[in-house]
Amino acid sequence: MGYYLKVFAKSDATIPVSWFRTGYDQLGCDVVLECDPGMEDCWRSITVKHGDGRQICFVERNVVAPGSIAAQTVEGYLNDLSYYRPRSGVEWVGEFLHVCGWSTG
């Protein structure tokens, strides 16, 4: 099983899956990217696999808007930051989420 990544977006603009494929191709990586058929330009999730089919990661994209599940998730991350280390990383993440406006606190 690969990693699970969540991308929080302040905009509903989406980078097309083909852009990611081009990047992997330019790096010479044998990677397969899958999303729902017909959703390459407005994906909500992407599965990234090695050429042999082993999963690298699953990426989920959620727009952060007031009252959204994504906004609630960000708030949960902020509430849980005190449990993580290193402290410098915790401070950076907290500052980043506040500066980006992804926090109501």
CB 40 within 8 A of CB 16: yes
Domains: count for the chain: 2
Question: Across residues 96-101, what is the average pLDDT?
Answer: 76
Model confidence band, residue 24 (pLDDT cutoffs 50, 70, 90): very high
- pLDDT tens-digit readout, 46-70: 999 999 999 999 999 888 888 888 8
In terms of residue numbers, what domain contains 73?
69-99
In a domain, 104, yes or no: no
Same domain, 82 and 50: no
In a domain, 105, yes or no: no
In a domain, 32, yes or no: yes
Same domain, 88 and 44: no
CB 20 within 8 A of CB 33: yes
Q: Is the pLDDT of residue 6 over 80?
A: no
Q: Is the pLDDT of residue 30 over 90?
A: yes
Indicate left, alpha or beta for 38 from its phi (over 0: left) and psi (-120 to 50: alpha): left
Same domain, 59 and 10: yes
Q: Is the pLDDT of residue 89 over 70?
A: yes
Give the global pTM. 0.71
Between 73 and 9, the more confident residue is 73
